[in-house]
Amino acid sequence: VPIEPRQVFQTYEPAPGAHRWPAHCAACGAPWPDPPAGPACPRCGQRTFRNPFPAVSVIVADGPRFVLCRRRGGAFQGGAWCLPCGYIDHDEDFLSAARREVREEAGIAVAVRGVVSVVSNFFRPDLHSLVIVLLATPLNPAAPLRGGDDIEEAAWFDDPLALPPMAFEADTHIIARYFADTALGVPVDPRFAGGAPD
């Protein structure tokens, strides 16, 4: 059964004014007027931009099985499971970010194979992520998984329709959709995909 594409996930009803401005101007520290008159600070004129956080999420697949990570208590959505994921550092391309996050959260080296989707997550009025979803394969499928960073435990799963309690609705959809047709998506730049252990 084909699964309809979805790329926008919301966990709250957006309301007027819900996407708050910061309390103070980052440049001069002036309190931000409420309601705000616009994107420019009324004292120093510095413009403030509110943007989603760029992130990556990785389907690490080895044939029919895939990696999920259980988030540490105290982390956002702690105790629930998710695909290896995280924010892209400023000095980092998104393919290297994907390989780093899998290494940190699941303890294995992967090669990135394709871009399978891009997702907007509206988690909270002050937390909105834009997630590049990538497909990757382990360089050594026999390597043991080891949870790290904000992850308590990483494990292989093999039933995309019987997942443990999931932290993000997007992940549930992404996994079901990927395994319905295992499409590679957009091929990635091999210079950054990580074909060899680093």
Interaction site with Zn ion (CB under 5 A): 25, 27-28, 30, 41, 43-44, 46
Which lies closer to Zn ion via its Cβ, residue 32 or residue 122?
A: 32
Which lies closer to Zn ion via its Cβ, residue 3 or residue 44?
A: 44
Shortest Cβ distance from residue 48 to Zn ion (Å)?
8
Which lies closer to Zn ion via its Cβ, residue 46 or residue 140?
A: 46
Quickly list DSSP for 145-156.
Answer: P---TTEEEEEE
Shortest Cβ distance from residue 127 to Zn ion (Å)?
24
Shortest Cβ distance from residue 109 to Zn ion (Å)?
45
Shortest Cβ distance from residue 17 to Zn ion (Å)?
21
- Can you give the three-state secondary structure of 38-103, one letter per residue? CCECCCCCCECCCCCEEEEEEEEEECCEEEEEEECCCCCCCCCEECCEEECCCCCCHHHHHHHHHH
Which lies closer to Zn ion via its Cβ, residue 48 or residue 77?
A: 48
Peptide bond into 16 cis (omega under 30): no
Here the tokens at position 60 are: 């690490």
**d(Cα 70, Cα 105) in Å, to the nearest integer?**
9
